[in-house]
Amino acid sequence: MTANPSHKGVEYWTKRISEQEMPALCSTVRDLEKLAKDDVSSLSLLGRSVMHDNALTSRILRVANSATYNKGINQVSTVSRAAVVLGFDTIRNICLTARLLSSLLENHNLSDNVFQRLLKLMGQSFHAAMIARMMLNERDESLREEVFIATLLYRIGESAFWSMGGDLADALDAKLLNTENSVEQLNLIRSELGTSFNQLTQGIARSWGLGDTLLKALNNPDERMPEIRCIFLADKLAESIAQPDLDPQGFQKRLQQAADMLDIKVEEFNQRLIRCNQVTHKLAIDYGAKALVDYIPNTEKVFEKLDAPQPEAMLREANLTVQLNKLRELTGFAINKTDFNQVMQTALEGVFSGVGVDRCGVLLLTPNRKMLQPRVVMGDDAETMKTTFVIELTDHQSIFAQCIEQKKPQWVHQTPTSESSKLTASNAVEHLSREGFLIAPLMVNTKVLGVFYADRHASFRKFEQVDFDAFTHFSQLANICFSVSMT
């Protein structure tokens, strides 16, 4: 690849990447983005776009069956079935991510230095995408997936350029290594390419039809819309974590901005960031991109190197004022028919902030009533709860099965040592609080649909009788509201 002054510019590089260097990826992306929103008519087209590539299909199914996406549902064995179970948009984005990672990672014609730069950049982008997804944990799944893809592609122009390799890439890499000043690096890139990497990303985004969210994030990074702000902050956080000479003050500034956006304390956000990092490593492997793991630094160790205070569990004490306010809201819902989800959200808020727990959630029964799966979770470790709290009900002696059969709240004082023989919870056993937990049936009239769950897992605190009574009060009043809402 040689530099031709008359050909420099965003249009030249966009065309070259799309038509000469990465035509297969460009074609797949365009096909995926053009698929109709009508799931039924698009399923066959989606299947045809990947069925000729066994390796790609294998990656897609591995991710679809991973803890991040498959919440205890039976394993899926076809892309079409995965789309039915997880939703068309989700499986389309998984397909897009798998194709992107494989296309960029499988270019073996790069020099060692350029390939290392590409791996670092891709690891950073994948980490940023997972951080952005985590930051929108309480939002709709379709929005989380849209933001994940937009963040993953936020530096696609730069990634695509390095993946081409050649003399110009090698020369530019060497020059950048000898230039520490970021402004000088930007000027150097513009001088060599006739455009910036950001502009190249915009060109590719428009040419490949990558969606409005990505273009908005690129053109207006300071936009106050939550999804756009998430993309910007996640990219900056991942970039900071990836730097060997991390700037403590700059990193802390970004952490505070992210915490403020989510309206939580920075210590709690730090916890979420550490757990997100662990999930990111696992998902990269599921995508067949194990090579990226070494380029996604362990966030917990980053905090340790900074000699910063380690994130501590938030000690949420019982708050009678919050309890009273939330109980009043639920009483109003019982009088005036209210949406099922609103009742569930309010009850959990009362348990979380009123009773004072580290985490809580609603687990709903699967159609065959043989398993409990997370529906809504709150608090510390919420992301992990969503992927690990899958409770099997094969043993009728288990605490969860008894709670459902007897239709009574249960207070497990300690687990797993004293209660392990009564617990059948698949991979959730190891994630249950050793200090005990509270569960109560979620009911509509006399039918149990699931359970409420609460514990103090992170702070290692035990429950008292007053806590159990308050938890029971919230669950029983919520059940009255559920029955009214379903009438």
Over range 147-169, report the average pLDDT.
91
Give the per-residue pLDDT at 418.
37
Q: Check if the beta carbon of residue 155 is closer than 8 Å to that of residue 104.
A: no
On the question of pLDDT at 265 being above 70, the answer is: yes
Give the per-residue pLDDT at 426.
43
Q: Check if the beta carbon of residue 370 is closer than 8 Å to that of residue 393.
A: yes
On the question of pLDDT at 14 being above 60, the answer is: yes
Give the per-residue pLDDT at 49.
61
Residue with tokens 């249009």: 11
Residue with tokens 């009483």: 331
Whole-model pTM? 0.67
Give the per-residue pLDDT at 348.
93
Over range 60-69, report the average pLDDT.
82
Over range 344-368, report the average pLDDT.
91
Average pLDDT, the chain: 83
More confident residue, 221 or 38: 221
* Confidence band of 417 (pLDDT split at 50, 70, 90): very low
Q: Crossing angle of helices 88-105/141-152, nearest 10°? A: 20
Over range 73-77, report the average pLDDT.
70
Give the per-residue pLDDT at 351.
95
Give the per-residue pLDDT at 78.
81
- If one counts every other C-beta atom within 10 angstroms of the C-beta of residue 181, the result is 9
* Confidence band of 32 (pLDDT split at 50, 70, 90): confident
* Confidence band of 394 (pLDDT split at 50, 70, 90): confident
* Confidence band of 50 (pLDDT split at 50, 70, 90): low
Q: Check if the beta carbon of residue 18 is closer than 8 Å to that of residue 207.
A: yes
| pLDDT tens column, 287-300 | 988 889 999 999 98
Least confident interval from 19-28, 220-229, 272-281, 420-429 = 420-429
Cα angle 58, 59, 63; round to 5:
120
On the question of pLDDT at 119 being above 60, the answer is: yes
Cis peptide before 248 (omega within 30 of 0): no
